[in-house]
């Protein structure tokens, strides 16, 4: 069996490596945060879903008729919201929400 590789660094280089790793990880975390902001879970309106799926709003209307859930708020009952995960599930399960 092979022994694991061991690297011994002077304190100065060890600290420099730690800073580099921290910088890379910080950048990755920031990218995840930006992606989360750019791709929210909720989509506003049938037009938003149509854009998300690259289809027309008539297709979205038919999906709603077949069972795609619409969500409304008491504050704005005329505005429709769709949950992205429900849209995805609807498509992946032939029109059934699981």
List the beta strands (DSSP E) in 1-98.
42-44, 81-83
Domain residue spans in the chain? 8-39, 43-92
Q: Is the pTM of this model over 0.85?
A: no
> How remote is the C-alpha of 58 from its chain's centroid?
25
How far apart CA 67 and CA 70 sit, in angstroms, is 9
Sign of CA dihedral 31, 37, 42, 48: negative
* Tens digits of residue pLDDT in 2-59: 888 888 889 898 889 889 888 888 887 777 667 656 668 999 999 999 999 999 999 9
* Tens digits of residue pLDDT in 18-28: 898 888 888 87
Token pair, residue 88, equals 């995805």
């Amino acid at each position: 069996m092979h022994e694991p590789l061991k690297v011994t660094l002077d304190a100065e280089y060890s600290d420099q490596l730690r800073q580099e790793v921290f910088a890379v990880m910080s950048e990755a975390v920031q990218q995840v945060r930006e992606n989360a902001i750019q791709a929210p879970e909720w989509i506003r309106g049938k037009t938003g879903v149509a854009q998300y799926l690259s289809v027309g709003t008539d297709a979205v209307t038919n999906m709603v008729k077949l069972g795609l859930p619409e969500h409304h708020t008491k504050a704005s009952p005329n505005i429709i919201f769709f949950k992205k995960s429900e849209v995805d599930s609807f498509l992946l399960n032939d029109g059934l929400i699981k």
